[in-house]
Amino acid sequence: MTRIAKTNAPERCHLVLADGTRFPGLAIGARGHTVGEAVFTTGMTGYQEVLTDPSYCDQLVCMTAPQIGNTGTNHEDQEAEAPVLRGFVVHELSTRSSNWRATEELDAYLARNGVVGITQVDTRALTRHIRDFGAQMAAIGTEDPNTLHDRAKSAPPMNGQDLTGKVSTPESYEWTEGTGSWKPLDSAFPADSAFPDEDSAGKVSLDRALQSSATRAATKDYHVVAMDFGVKRSILRCLVDAGCRVTVVPAKTAARDVLALNPDGVFLSNGPGDPSAVERGIATVSELLGKKPLFGICLGHQLLALALGARTYKLKFGHRGLNQPVQDLSTKRIEVTTQNHGFAVDVESLADKCEMTHVHLNDSTCEGIRHLETGAFGVQYHPEASAGPHDARYLFARFVRAIEDSR
């Protein structure tokens, strides 16, 4: 991938898919060319969280919302230190931001971080094409479209790629920051299927829930080791809010080194790439099973399933956005969730080792599992919901409850 400094003059640009489909537009961000897997996300907001979500590593992300950049960018909404996606595709780039938190225009942010982008693209047509023919490799650049097509065709597909080494921390560190003043009330909801503070109408009393959460957060009783396969900062903040003292370790950390930290529980983070290719991570999870409570999100959920002998497979175009409907099968509640994944767990391969706890209501794919023997559990979506709805933040409290029960 080649990236050069941005110039002020608008330049013609193309997005070319591996199947030869071409989309003209104008260059934004850094100039040059880039290659990655073309995918789309249906979120109406949260473009900076998309840009900095490590799970988008090596992908060209198309925003389906028609205008992007209205609220500018800021440091607080970063999910990682810098973007790791390969390219950014929008229909219309807002030339002016309007938000009291904004510190930089989106175009300047893309250029400063070396992100090649394209605007004035028919993103509706692109999204429909990916929906119909599947996510595929593509190239963006100011080069001749035939050259871009050659680059897209020769690029290795996402299948078989372990990308965790590109996004994981190189060394361990302690994470102490919670969500602070931005903390939503429902992050403190109890973890059980039957809420103890529900009235006859099913309304939850927040006072008691908030008091319980605040007490746990103040004491920080629970030491959690978070295995970083590409973790989002908002997930770590939610663990802190739930009362956890968090140590983040690299994806390559061996099980014996995780256990040497004497954690009360182990968290398996989200991340990019093909889960079946993360062989070292699968082996580590296998060794941790039954020794400590385990909770996995997205890639972490998939690694847990693979460690239990299940299979994963690539979805045609994946689930990406802030409006994905999921049902918690234990409570029958419907949650609107944030998701970002191109692979899924094969339910049939779980056999009698696990139960499926959550299901996607659009296509009936597996969205959550629980190991019957050890209680280890995971969900396919992002319950911290940054950006997005907070319906599923109760899962962090459920993890803490599992830790309490194991003591």
Q: Which of 62, 298, 354, 366 is catalytic?
A: 298
In sequence order, the 6+-apart residues with CB closer than 8 A to the CB of 116 are 3, 27, 29, 30, 31, 32, 33, 34, 86, 87, 88, 140, 141
Rounded to 10 degrees, what is the CA torsion of 225, 227, 228, 233?
-40
Contacts 24+ apart (CB under 8 A), 371-374: 371/289, 371/304, 371/308, 373/290, 374/289, 374/290, 374/294
Q: Is 198 a catalytic residue?
A: no
Contact 268, 313 (CB under 8 A): no
Which conformational region is residue 207 in: left (phi greater than 0), alpha (psi within -120 to 50 degrees), or beta?
alpha
Contact 176, 240 (CB under 8 A): yes
> How many residues are present in the chain?
407
Cβ neighbours of 10 (radius 10 Å): 11
Helix (H) or strand (E) holding 339: strand 333-345
Q: Is 354 a catalytic residue?
A: no
Q: Which of 14, 301, 384, 390 is catalytic?
A: 384
Provide the H-helix boundaries in 6-81: 47-52
Provide the H-helix boundaries in 177-230: 206-219
Cβ neighbours of 57 (radius 10 Å): 23
Q: Is 384 a catalytic residue?
A: yes
Strand order of the sheet with strand 244-250? 173-175, 244-250, 222-228, 265-268, 294-297, 377-379, 366-371, 354-360, 312-328, 333-345
Provide the H-helix boundaries in 157-221: 164-167, 206-219
Q: Which of 14, 319, 382, 390 is catalytic?
A: 382
Nearest Cα residue to 368 out of 407, 401, 323, 399:
399
For residue 387, is the peptide bond before it cis, meaning its omega torsion is within 30 degrees of 0?
A: yes
In sequence order, the 6+-apart residues with CB closer than 8 A to the CB of 288 are 255, 258, 259, 266, 294
Contact 231, 248 (CB under 8 A): yes
Catalytic residues: 298, 382, 384
